[in-house]
Chain A
């Protein structure tokens, strides 16, 4: 009994430390937004202010970078998700050498350092007279984000009951109808999660993007470049806005999901 109690408290302690470790930087960053100091810091505290939100609103270059990031992320999502889904479907149906070849091919960009993916993409496309920019950024990021998508879809496919496909066929459905009415609805949650992950992976990417961005600076690259010239708490303001937006979205999603699962139970 006693060792169990110790274990329980140990786990609680660990979880507490874990969350502290996870959230303390975010909290400090958030508080620093309101510090009337030229530097993004909480000490010394120079008095509360809201002015960094104003500075943020007026920083045109940063809004451009944010827009670029969103465009790139949507582009990656639109390209990487179909590729990842197709590869996963293909891998789940074929056997033998072709299978392991495709799997290794898809996984290798994921295991390659992002810098190398960026540089090699640039060199390759330069040879074809394609210069850095939004298009090349989408291409470079897709090479490894498609692999994430594939892994997520594969995981869901592994639990798919293949007799459902046979049942659909036996009822007269063509392969396309079987896919659209049986397999696709089953994969839908995984596809949505994969799309979200693809978007976020693209949005936060720095090391690959740095080499292929051309003149189209993304948000991460912009913030990093500002580190050299001197960051102001306007960056913290941006961070805070994003955190609040993310949390709100997560809450909306959770509430919606709970409501749906309650309907199913009835």
Chain B
């Protein structure tokens, strides 16, 4: 069954405010797709357009090849898991799960069978008769998932459903969601501001900022080859060094970062000489005292944090610029103490130079 979602040049405006700028995006059948961005970036608006709670000002949403304009929320092949879960407090767990079937006129015996099967899927067998208020946070979470799956949607929409859980449970639920998605083969569209969630679970991630899609890519590409300055700074830890482009040659840009120095890096997109740009270098790509790397920055170690398998360092350059550095525990030596002078270096192919980056 085709359960792809196509946002066909959709625009959403509220009065003079444009919540979602022109977006054209195709989400494949059976994909785990995430929208990642800070709050207010328009990701929930996109979800509401897919679910039918909002109609796009321009363009159309297609689900399974069908234009969804004029199709109300209750007739769409989608179901949604809400941020606050929105379980019906006056119904039992089983009644909650069976609600979608009940309103479709499914017989009691069949509904019971379905809810038993779903309770098993979310590992809560035998809790059908419980009240919603008797469940723990994680259990409520799973009931919300079971309820949304009961109507056998083609597309499951998830609006930051894990944000209310504590860290441990959140990590556990990530794995569980991924597992359920694999078992059911349903298209999952997941909204989050938590990059960890987006990167670990998704097949593809769309990074959004100010109503605009910044980049759509699989997690590894997103991390290694950010397409915009926003994507580079929002996804993962990154050191952003602002400067002016000195030269662009054969995919390699040279950027003048003033007092910090002049550095080479991979050019992203079209860059022109004299343009304002930012060089991004990940903390784990910075090495200590590797003399064979061409790009070097002298710095003093300010802080060392031992995190188990790795260490994070805070290094300050001569012109008082703080840089985050991450090294594996094996690289640790006794000489690494706060106040020690070191030379940070990186390979040009590990750094990217992206136009703009004022907000970094």
Contact = CB atoms under 8 A, between A and B. Distances in A.
A215 B316 CA distance: 96
B99 A181 contact: yes
B80 A166 contact: yes
B90 A171 contact: no
Contacts of A182: 88
Given A166-B73, A167-B86, A185-B90, A172 B104 contact: yes
A152 B148 CA distance: 33
Contact of B79 (A161, A170, A174): A170
B223 interface: no
Which label, helix, strand, loop or mixed, suits the secondary structure of the B interface? mixed
A168 B104 CA distance: 12
Contact of A173 (B80, B99, B150): B99
Given A185-B90, A264-B133, A173 B84 contact: no
A123 to B, nearest CB: 46
Contacts of A164: 86, 88
A44 B353 CA distance: 104
B151 A163 contact: no
Contacts of A173: 74, 99-100, 103
Given A172-B74, A172-B151, A182-B88, A167 B103 contact: no
Given A173-B99, A173-B103, A174-B103, A161 B73 contact: no
Contacts of A171: 74, 79, 99-100, 103, 147-148, 150-151
The 6 closest A-B pairs by CB, nearest first: A171-B100, A167-B86, A170-B80, A173-B103, A163-B86, A169-B73
B51 A170 contact: yes
A167 B74 contact: no
A161 B90 CA distance: 13
A261 to B, nearest CB: 12
Contacts of A168: 88, 99, 103
A39 to B, nearest CB: 54
B88 A170 contact: no
B78 interface: yes
Interface of A: 161, 163-164, 166-174, 177, 181-182, 185-186, 264
B218 to A, nearest CB: 28
Interface in B41-59: 51-53
B140 interface: no
Contacts of B86: 161, 163-164, 166-167
A114 B103 CA distance: 46
Contacts of B78: 170
B82 interface: yes
A166 B73 CA distance: 8
B80 A167 contact: yes
Contact of B88 (A167, A172, A177, A264): A167
B74 A169 contact: yes
Interface residues of B, number: 28
Nearest to A264: B131
Given A172-B74, A182-B88, A185-B90, A167 B82 contact: yes
B80 A172 contact: no
B90 A172 contact: no
A161 B133 contact: no
A174 B90 contact: no
A159 to B, nearest CB: 12
Contact of B82 (A166, A174, A177, A186): A166
Given A169-B53, A172-B104, 8 more contacts: A161-B86, A164-B88, A166-B86, A168-B103, A172-B151, A177-B103, A181-B103, A186-B90
A172 B100 contact: yes
B293 to A, nearest CB: 53
Interface string B83-108: 01011101000000001101110000
Contacts of B52: 169
A171 B102 CA distance: 10
Contacts of B102: 181
A26 to B, nearest CB: 38
Contacts of B104: 172
B74 A174 contact: yes
20 contacts: A163-B84, A163-B86, A164-B88, A167-B82, A168-B103, A169-B74, A170-B51, A170-B78, A170-B79, A170-B80, A171-B74, A171-B100, A171-B148, A171-B151, A172-B74, A172-B75, A172-B79, A172-B103, A173-B103, A174-B103
Interface string B69-81: 0001111001110
Nearest to B82: A163
B68 to A, nearest CB: 13
A166 B90 CA distance: 16
Nearest to A177: B103
A170 B74 contact: yes
A185 B90 CA distance: 7
Nearest to A162: B86
Interface in B130-150: 131, 133, 147-148, 150
A182 B79 CA distance: 17
B81 to A, nearest CB: 9
A168 B101 CA distance: 11
Nearest to A170: B80
A255 B104 CA distance: 38
A183 to B, nearest CB: 11
B165 to A, nearest CB: 18
A89 B99 CA distance: 23
Interface in B145-164: 147-148, 150-151, 157
